[in-house]
Structure 1
């Protein structure tokens, strides 16, 4: 299987390493260590040199309890980093966002994959993703990023998560995302 986006091909017959690049001041994983363009590019370079073939760039923390950011703030954080990575490295770029405006602008800036922890459930996100023609990565959680750790409960975790993804894939296909 192969993914195609932005004139590039990603061969999925072997594993790939995705490096995570959070450009937020409140990231749970790196504490905001890469939230300037210079630091973000340095970290992307380290990840590429370590073998990453995909760099996932996120401009809004989705840790439980994190504050939401405006569209403008997320664009200001993410787009310069996406453009810099696209200009400097031969890697696939994933954008971690749920906002339709960021999805569209990230595609214009060179992103290859839309990685949405909310599974394109925000108003306009599904349509924006379909417009770009980019592959998508979806995630399951109960609730939203602020509440997902508040006593999640499953009767049959495999069946429930499986059903969720069947429904989400059907939504994507209906919207023209294949």
Structure 2
């Protein structure tokens, strides 16, 4: 897609949010509620699974809020909350564990951040996305581009929320990054 094409996209408007494409750059701050983040910035202590221990949960939530507030102060429009590591070789976790990780953080962020801050849930599971939206998330960030859970697209349509479609190249024959992403998203 050319720069000229990107500037002709219509705005994305939902629930009082308004994104004008091509007018400014939007920055997303990432909150990894994992012990094994790809970026090495996961908020859970090593060996921690779900956030059942109230002391650990409170500490993680406080760190997440502080990190998100810093991101917003530095210009982030979006705060993306993920509970399952997407690093190569990471083991999947159960939906219940993912919910235990992300829901307390999303609730706390919604209460602590300015109302115009967009909170996204980084998940490929429709049930996790549904509960995250109910907890205060405003957008879905699906690393599988709506391919992993057949209910995800219907959920986004039902709730009227945008979806960030990621091109997940796992198990996909790679040739050249731009054409690969276009083929994946097609």
Which residue does 1:153 correspond to in 2?
A: 174
Q: CA deviation at 1:157?
A: 4.6
Unaligned runs of 5+ in 1: 168-178
Question: What does residue 43 of structure 2 align with?
Answer: 33
- Once the two structures are superposed, the pairs formed by residues 9-158 of structure 1 within 5 Å of their partners are 9-12=18-21, 13-33=23-43, 36-90=60-114, 91-123=117-149, 124-143=151-170, 152-154=173-175, 157-158=177-178
TM-score by length of 1: 0.79
**What TM-score, normalized to structure 2?**
0.76
Q: Secondary structure at the match of 2:131?
A: helix
1:3 paired residue number = 12
The match for 1:172 is: none
CA deviation after TM superposition for structure 1 residue 43, in Å? 0.7
SS of the residue 1:60 aligns to: coil
How many pairs are equivalent?
Answer: 159
Q: Name segments (4+ residues, structure 1) moved above 3 Å.
A: 156-160
Secondary structure of the structure 1 residue equivalent to 2:133:
helix
Q: Which ranges of structure 2 fall in alignment gaps of 5 or more residues?
A: 1-9, 46-59
